Chains A and B, each alone.
Chain A
């Protein structure tokens, strides 16, 4: 089955700096890669996703890149703000909708 690894587990940046979170996956059949933001005690919120037919996707300060050959994808947050502080999860799934999550990254943005 799919195995998703996520790094780093914690990340602290200064407000205004960029943050990068990386994930790798093992199943070449995976074709959908969402990123979720989860604040303490709340539901995961989809912030951006990418499909295997695309190499990069951007939405304002958030971007995701995908390297299918290397089986890794990354989340990039630019101009970070304190409200970006949360736990971020990457995930990978295939056409069977079997979604596997990374372990999560706790991002802290210092004002």
Chain B
């Protein structure tokens, strides 16, 4: 099956620093990747949709200058949380759609990154 790798799985950082999270599709090409945020005991909230080679589309209320997304290749998308603050602490999960499968909507999820900002 399709495998999506996400790193790091857990990161602790000081307030004011930036953190980069990587999302890789290991055995397939992903034209579209998605970034979600999940607070404890809550649902997944879509933050942005990332298309290879173009700017990400952010959901309403998500600051694009705060959450920088880069999708430089068909197998890699990165999310950088800039100048992180304690309220940014959350579980961030990426997902990817296969090339040719986009119209079928199937998304494969990474393992998630737990970010704790002190």
Q: Are B112 and A43 in contact (CB under 8 A)?
A: yes
CB distance from A108 to the nearest CB of B (A): 14
Residues of A participating in the B interface, judged by any CB pair closer than 8 Å: 31-32, 34, 36, 41-46, 49, 89, 93-95, 97-104, 106
Q: Are A100 and B112 in contact (CB under 8 A)?
A: no
**B54 close to A (CB within 8 Å):** no
Q: Are A44 and B111 in contact (CB under 8 A)?
A: no
Q: Are A97 and B49 in contact (CB under 8 A)?
A: yes
Residues in chain B near residue A45, CB distance under 8 A = 109
Contact among A42, A49, A99, A106 with B112 in the assembled complex (CB-CB below 8 Å): A42
Interface of A is mostly: loop
Q: Are B93 and A44 in contact (CB under 8 A)?
A: yes
| Interface size range of chain B in the complex | 20 to 34
Residues in chain B near residue A104, CB distance under 8 A = 41-43
- Distance in angstroms between the alpha carbons of A98 and B104 in the assembled complex: 11
39-68 of chain B: CB within 8 A of chain A: 41-46, 49
CB distance from B34 to the nearest CB of A (A): 8
Q: Are B112 and A41 in contact (CB under 8 A)?
A: yes
Residues in chain A near residue B41, CB distance under 8 A = 104, 106
Q: Are A43 and B110 in contact (CB under 8 A)?
A: yes
6 contacts between A and B (CB under 8 A): A41-B114, A43-B93, A43-B110, A97-B97, A99-B46, A103-B42
